[in-house]
Structure 1
Amino acid sequence: MTDKKKLLKAFMAKQLRGYTPFSAWTHYPEIDREPQAISQATYDFARQFDIDFIKTMSNGMYTVEDYGVDLDFSAIAKGGVAQVKATPIHSYQDWREVPELSVDQAPAFQRELEHLERLVELTKGEIPLVVTVHSPLTTANKLCQGQIDQYIEADGEGILLQALERLTRPTIEFVQLALAKGADGIYLASQMASHDKLSPEAYQKYGIPFDLKIIEAADTAWLNTLHIHGANIMFDLLKDYPLPVINWHIGESKPELEEGIQETDKFIMGGLRREAITQADWPTLEDQLSQAKAINQTDNRILLTPGCVIRQPFSKDTLARLRDLIRS
């Protein structure tokens, strides 16, 4: 196996020209709470499509599982997302009761660490691994079934801020343990840094301070990545976070790729529209691939990936053909 870690480090050190790193990820809802099965499926995916780094394909609700929620994953296989069907958060005062967990009290966090450990064993340290981490505000929004904007508006007593502190601490512990077990970085996913969901002022108070604590906990890693999820994102607010790689839904949300390159000096993970993969839209995919390769000919900036998880169902033949075009 090619040592992908050495390859990607050389690319990021600007020592490798004419190469375009590639990765992709999806969800496996039938097995993603079974560490042995999901780690093997992830490794097989990495080998089949010759990807240059692995983003852990964690269950999208793992950060709320240990807080007494009832979850429904049935929509994922049809292109939908998991849902919180029942939660202990029904009122503003309920945020007082959010416990401060440690990882040894949190079976879902423990499961994800086992998932990571198995991936480290399978890859033998030769494929870079970034572990999926949700921002505390993202976790809080999942916990209250997408109503976090209402609780922010009601937070005159600071109860929500205190709850976010308690959600942050086990996340920091998880990050530290993941890096100790062999992760090369975190993939910090913020689903709330969108003008469609919050005001910039709200995110500055309820998002940024907690995001930065997570990033600080991972500051020894070399492949830390920020994922700004969704449309109409607050790119200007987050683009200077202290990590080397940034990822957003390029083509679905501004800025476009060329504009993003001008606005940040970070490496950009993205460039492929995920729905183009699901729909096998070859004119779009070929155009995006050509654009990324052209940029990397002169300035190693693009780690070519979808902007987010590839939604099911999609054809593996599409991804295989895309792999071949990237490598040609």
Structure 2
Amino acid sequence: MDHWQRIETSLAGGKPDRIPVSLWKHFPDDDRDVGMLVEHTLTWQRKWQFDLVKFMPSGTYGVEDWGAETAYEGAWNGARSVVKTVVRDADQWATLRRLDVTKGCYAQQNEALRHVAKALGGRTPLLQTVFSPLTTARKLAGDRVFTDLRCSPDALELGLRTITDVTIEFCLAAVEAGAHGFFFASQMASSRLLSAAEYERFGRPYDLEIFDALQGKVRLNMLHAHGDDIMFPLLAGYPVEMFNWHDRITKPGLRQASTQFHKILVGGLNEHATVLRASPEHVAAEVRDAIDQTNGERLMIGPGCVLPLATPDENIRAVLCAVEAF
């Protein structure tokens, strides 16, 4: 099977020739340059031949055009940090301007994606990375977003309206650039951060508005729920084909999740404790356990989140060998 057939067979509940697999990593600082991001993305995919390419722009691209200052500070996973926020007072949510996604940092991400899409020629599913509006709001305001959510909710919702509109425009431009869908990352759907009622008001409606705008325009979307104690039952109803979360470090595990989400679960690997630090034999055992938990049905082997930069090649190779063996 080719990459598409493998995923589509899994999505339909069938048995592909092997379990699909995809791993992804950041390319810190180089991801600020269109040419370098394209080169790294294609080199990564040509080396490993994953079944899906998760495009890897900097995680702060969505706030820089609004004036956030960011830096790569040496994080083990290659993530970039916001070092100066934009929103420092609740009244500022109303002043967020409607960005032109054909310019600035937003435009750079889709320009890079366009080159990658052309080089891949449609042979491998390509997902642009996009962040939920509430996730972007937190990056714009830092932790004061929680204060505004509870003390100035109407003001925050004005900001979420603008962020959602810009995100939709960016997504539509990404489709034109060649994206087959999106890796939709929510870093706020965690009970450690919000109550379910708070996410129902400030998260879910804006998330679903984006998916509604993409209906009929994409082939595959993957939802990524970041962090511990995620709101899995709330998110399981999202209109996506794939669901990714830190299944090795927070509930639910794959076995339980397969009873709640009936499309493709993406996970099975602890990217830090196992893929970074363990032996290839341990990595292979974790792949086998993931297959056992799901009976190999509607599963894509993947990390709970981005791979550490220092992940050894032999452990990536062990993942690929394991899906072939099992």
Displacement after TM superposition at 1:139 (Å): 0.3
Q: Which residue of 91, 94, 97 corresponds with 2:95?
A: 97
**Percent of aligned positions that are identical:** 30
Matched to 1:271, the amino acid is G
SS at match of 2:62: coil
> What's the CA shift string for 1:273-318, capped at 9, x where partnerless?
111111135464233211333466x563101100110122221222
> What's the CA shift string for 1:194-227, capped at 9, x where partnerless?
0111111111110001000111122222211111
Query: Structure 1 17/71 Cα, relative in aligned 2: closer, same or farther at 3 Å?
Result: closer
Query: Could you tell me how far apart the structure 1 residues matched to 2:281 and 2:193 are?
Result: 32
SS at match of 2:259: helix
Stretch deviating more after TM superposition (92-101 or 3-12): 3-12
Query: Could you tell me how far apart the structure 2 residues matched to 1:307 and 1:235 are?
Result: 14
SS at match of 1:132: strand
Look up the match of 1:135.
Answer: 132
Matched to 1:171, the amino acid is T
Query: Structure 1 299/83 Cα, relative in aligned 2: closer, same or farther at 3 Å?
Result: closer
2:284–2:318: 8 Å Cα contact kept in structure 1?
A: no
Give the gaps of 5 or more residues in structure 1: none
> What's the CA shift string for 1:217-272, capped at 9, x where partnerless?
22222211111111111111111111221111111110011010112212101111
Look up the match of 1:34.
Answer: 33
Displacement after TM superposition at 1:14 (Å): 4.1
Look up the match of 1:188.
Answer: 184
Aligned CA RMSD, in angstroms, stands at 1.8
Stretch deviating more after TM superposition (302-311 or 41-50): 41-50
Stretch deviating more after TM superposition (286-295 or 193-202): 286-295
Matched to 2:73, the amino acid is S
1:193–1:233: 8 Å Cα contact kept in structure 2?
A: yes
Query: Could you tell me how far apart the structure 1 residues matched to 2:203 and 2:35 are?
Result: 33
Matched to 2:145, the amino acid is I
Look up the match of 2:159.
Answer: 163
Matched to 1:256, the amino acid is G
SS at match of 2:185: strand
Look up the match of 1:177.
Answer: 173
**Matching of residues 40-79 of structure 1 within 5 Å:** 40-76=39-75, 78-79=76-77
1:132–1:186: 8 Å Cα contact kept in structure 2?
A: yes
SS at match of 2:57: coil
**Matching of residues 179-328 of structure 1 within 5 Å:** 179-220=175-216, 221-275=218-272, 276-282=274-280, 284-294=282-292, 300-328=297-325
Runs of 4+ in 1 over 4 A off after TM superposition: 281-284
Query: Structure 1 81/120 Cα, relative in aligned 2: closer, same or farther at 3 Å?
Result: closer
SS at match of 1:103: coil
> What's the CA shift string for 1:165-222, capped at 9, x where partnerless?
0011111011112122221111110000001111111111100010001111222222
Query: Could you tell me how far apart the structure 1 residues matched to 2:91 and 2:179 are?
Result: 37
Query: Structure 1 282/318 Cα, relative in aligned 2: closer, same or farther at 3 Å?
Result: closer
Stretch deviating more after TM superposition (42-51 or 19-28): 42-51
SS at match of 1:67: coil
2:111–2:177: 8 Å Cα contact kept in structure 1?
A: no
Query: Could you tell me how far apart the structure 2 residues matched to 1:264 and 1:10 are?
Result: 17
Query: Could you tell me how far apart the structure 1 residues matched to 2:77 and 2:53 are?
Result: 22
Look up the match of 2:19.
Answer: 20
Aligned length: 323
SS at match of 1:269: strand
Query: Structure 1 81/124 Cα, relative in aligned 2: closer, same or farther at 3 Å?
Result: closer
Query: Structure 1 284/252 Cα, relative in aligned 2: closer, same or farther at 3 Å?
Result: farther
SS at match of 2:223: strand
Query: Could you tell me how far apart the structure 2 residues matched to 1:254 and 1:248 are?
Result: 9
Stretch deviating more after TM superposition (119-128 or 276-285): 276-285
Look up the match of 2:84.
Answer: 86
SS at match of 1:268: strand
Query: Could you tell me how far apart the structure 2 residues matched to 1:271 and 1:61 are?
Result: 27
